Amino acid sequence: MKSKYCVSILVSNNYNYTSILTFHKNGLTMRYYLSFLLILLCSFSGLSQAQSAQQKNNEAVKSEETLNQSEITQISDTMKLLTKKAQTLKGDRLAIVQLEIYNMNEKLRKVLKSAVEQSSVEQKNSDKTLLTQQIQLQTEYYKFYLSYVEQKLDNLQTEIEKAKKDDRLLMQIPLNELRIGQAILYTEQYQNYAWLQSLGIDTDKSISQFEDKLQDLAHFTSAALNYSLTYQESLQRQLEGLSATQAEKINLEISYLQRDINTYSKALSRLVDTADSLNINTVELRHELFTATGDITHDLFSWAVLKSTFVSWFTQFSSWFVINSPNMFFNLFMFVLILALARVVAQLVQHLLKKAVKAPHLKLSNLMQQFILSMSVKLIFCIALLIALAQVGLDLTPVIAGLGVAGIIIGFALQDTLSNFASGMMLLIYRPFDEGDWINAAGVEGTVSHVSLVNTTIRTFSNEVLLVPNSKIWMEVIINRTYEKVRRVDMIFRIGHKDSIAKAEQIFEDILAADERVLKAPAPIIKVNTLEESSVNFIVRPWVRTDDYIDVMRDCTREVKMRFDAEGINIPFPQQDIHLHIVGTDMGLNLSSNPTRTQD
Q: For 252-263, what is each residue's pLDDT tens digit?
A: 778 878 888 888
CB of 282 closer than 8 Å to CB of 275: yes
> Strands 438-441 and 444-451, how do they pair?
antiparallel
Top CATH class, 406-483: mainly beta
**pLDDT tens digits, one per residue of 456-484:** 999 998 899 999 998 889 888 999 988 88
12 forms beta bridges with 15
Q: How confident is the model at residue 311 (pLDDT cuts 50, 70, 90)?
A: low
| Separation of alpha carbons 274 and 255, rounded Å | 29
DSSP H or E stretch at residue 509: helix 501-514
**In terms of Cα–Cα distance, which of 232, 235, 144 is closest to 189?**
144
- State the pLDDT confidence band at 349, using cuts at 50, 70 and 90: confident
**Cβ(157)–Cβ(182) under 8 Å?**
no
DSSP string computed for 330-362: HHHHHHHHHHHHHHHHHHHHHHHHHHHHT-TTT
Task: Quickly count: other Cβ atoms within 10 Å of residue 182's Cβ.
Answer: 23
DSSP 8-state secondary structure symbol assigned to residue 117: H
| Domain definitions of the chain by residue range | 123-297, 301-394, 406-483, 486-567
Q: What mean pLDDT, rounded, does the chain reach?
A: 75
Nearest by Cα to 567 from 488, 485, 506: 506
Who's near 234: CB < 8 A, 6+ residues apart? none
Specify the DSSP element, H or E, that contains 465. Answer: strand 465-469
- Whether residue 572 is preceded by a cis peptide bond, meaning omega within 30 degrees of 0, is no
What SS3 class is residue 434? Answer: coil
Cα–Cα nearest to 536, from 492, 497, 498, 565: 497
- For the chain, give me the number of helices (H) and strands (E)? 15, 15
Distance CA 379, CA 446 (A): 33
pLDDT of residue 334: 86
Calculate Rg over the CA atoms of the chain. Answer: 53
* Residue 411, pLDDT score: 62
| CA distance linking residue 559 with residue 492, whole number of Å | 14
pLDDT tens string 109-164: 888 888 777 765 554 554 577 778 888 888 887 888 888 888 888 888 888 888 87
CA distance 106 to 533: 125
Question: Around Cβ 19, how many Cβ atoms within 10 Å?
Answer: 19
Which tens digits make up the pLDDT trace of 212-232?
888 888 888 888 888 888 888
486-567 CATH pick, 3.20.20.70, 3.30.70.100, 3.40.1190.20, 3.10.105.10: 3.30.70.100
* Alpha helices for 365-414 (secondary structure H): 366-392, 396-413
Band the pLDDT of 60: cuts 50, 70, 90: very low
**Calpha distance 430→132 (Å, rounded):** 104
Q: Is the pLDDT of residue 409 over 50?
A: yes
Read out DSSP for 17-80? EEEEEEEEETTEEEEEEEE-TTTTTTTTTTTHHHHHHHHHHTTT--SHHHHHHHHHHHHHHHHH
Task: Of 310-324, 329-343, 455-469, give the range with the top mean pLDDT.
Answer: 455-469
